[in-house]
Amino acid sequence: MSLTTTLLIAGILLWCYLFIALGVLTKLKLGWAILTGAILALAVAGSLGSILFTSTLGSTPYRLPLMVASLGVTEMVYLSAALVVVYLVGVPWWIIHLTRKKLLRNKTASPARAVEETPLAPVYVLVVRFLAVIMIAVSLFISAYGFIKAQRPAITEVTLSYKELPRSFNGMKIALVSDLHIGAATRSSFLEMVVSQVNAQQADVIIIAGDSVDGFVKDLGEEMTPLGELFAPYGVVMATGNHDTHLDPWGWIDYFSAQGITVLTNEALFLHKGHDHIEILGIPDRYGYDDLGPNLPATLEHAQSGRNDETPGFRILVAHQPNQLFDNDSLASRSGISLQLSGHTHGGQLWPTGYYTMANQPALDGVHEFDGVTLVTSRGIGNWLTPARIGADPEIIVITLTRDEPTYTPDPSGNVGG
């Protein structure tokens, strides 16, 4: 039995237990409690099972039911949190009630030492039932809110200044697109809308930092055709992510190439303007295998072989995961790379799961600097597991590169100094 199957069964059993226990706590009939637990367990299984279908069905008339079913994963997360709140209130109160009942049964016959019973149990039942209803309503509202927020990416503008940026590229704009996750549970018009938004930014180059698809070429090829409408003067550049290598990776690389997208697999691309140039280096995700495994040393060699002189240009590394910055003993920072563009994290997607993501990533989103390399991490555009986002809105990042020119001020002696 695989770990995934084991966790699925364990999760379903846990939910059954929670709802049966909740039924007992609120004085419901045991039979109703068991039935409620079973229904919820089936709902959980259906939501999690829908995830498997989104990777295999591709284009399907059942897109809406799959979206609704996979949204159940969001509900599961926040309803579980709501149940914890109910239990934190209900269990101690229940223990107090049982303790009082025990004291009443053991009270002496003496009226002076008698413990008078209070209507604690009825109040407790009302409070727990009220909390349960409120928490379920709140979790449903959060799920609906998260679905709406996930449907339209925001534009995040970032300006970065570098002394080593060639003057010819001062003001260059990069549109960073990441984690589209187009699959069976993605609405058909979503990619067209994203492409329109990206093109409207009029970037000089568009960079896709992996995880574009969740499915096979034969199923999703037609759904992905709008990607070929992306336009920028220096073209569209892509590095593959972990999801791109799950299903028919070389088929997708050929497909994207046919769409006019330059897929960098441990390769370098040179952008020229006059006598200046910029180098874009692309490596696959760290979980890639065989020829789709990341190989930054080979990528640097490819850049060296394609350069007309010995002087490296301004270097941008495209790597799906932020933590790839530290691979090969932080080779990126030792190789003159100034900027790394990544995705993968989804910004956590569903708060507070981002804290788990931060356990193995240096950044959740935004702009950070490590060892002299600027790391830009996108929250991504699409979604995984469930079509909702809480506290991590989808985004398209537009980066403007500027040259950090030295500022000269008059010296008191009359000389010009900097």
Collapse the DSSP code of 3 into the 3-class scheme (helix H, G, I; strand E, B; otherwise coil) and give the result: helix
Residues 143 and 74: beta-carbon distance below 8 Å: yes
Q: What percent of the chain has pLDDT over 90?
A: 40
Distance from chain centroid for Cα 77: 15
317-345 pLDDT per residue, tens = 999 999 999 998 899 999 889 999 999 99
pLDDT of residue 137: 80
41-52 pLDDT per residue, tens = 666 666 666 666
pLDDT of residue 49: 64
* Predicted confidence band of residue 401 (pLDDT cuts 50, 70, 90): very high
Alpha-carbon distance 379 to 343, whole Å? Answer: 6
Residues 228 and 196: beta-carbon distance below 8 Å: no
Q: Is the pLDDT of residue 60 over 70?
A: no
Range with lowest mean pLDDT among 14-18, 24-28, 119-123: 119-123
Alpha-carbon distance 78 to 349, whole Å? Answer: 13
Long-range (24+ apart) CB contacts under 8 A made by 332-339 are 332/296, 332/373, 333/370, 333/371, 333/372, 333/373, 335/296, 335/300, 336/312, 337/281, 337/373, 338/162, 338/164, 338/165, 338/314, 338/373, 338/374, 339/160, 339/162, 339/315, 339/373, 339/374, 339/376
Give Dmax over CA atoms of the chain in angstroms: 105
DSSP 227: G
* Prediction pTM value: 0.80
Alpha-carbon distance 142 to 146, whole Å? Answer: 6
204-215 mean pLDDT: 93
**The CA-based dihedral angle spanning residues 229, 234, 240, 241, taken in that order and rounded to the nearest 10 degrees:** -80
Q: Is the pLDDT of residue 224 over 60?
A: yes
Two tokens, residue 47 = 């939501």
50-71 mean pLDDT: 64
Q: Are strands 366-370 and 373-377 parallel, antiparallel or unpaired?
A: antiparallel
* Predicted confidence band of residue 363 (pLDDT cuts 50, 70, 90): very high
Instruction: Please give the residue that has the higher pLDDT: either 416 or 283.
Output: 283
Collapse the DSSP code of 406 into the 3-class scheme (helix H, G, I; strand E, B; otherwise coil) and give the result: coil
Mean pLDDT for all residues in the chain: 81
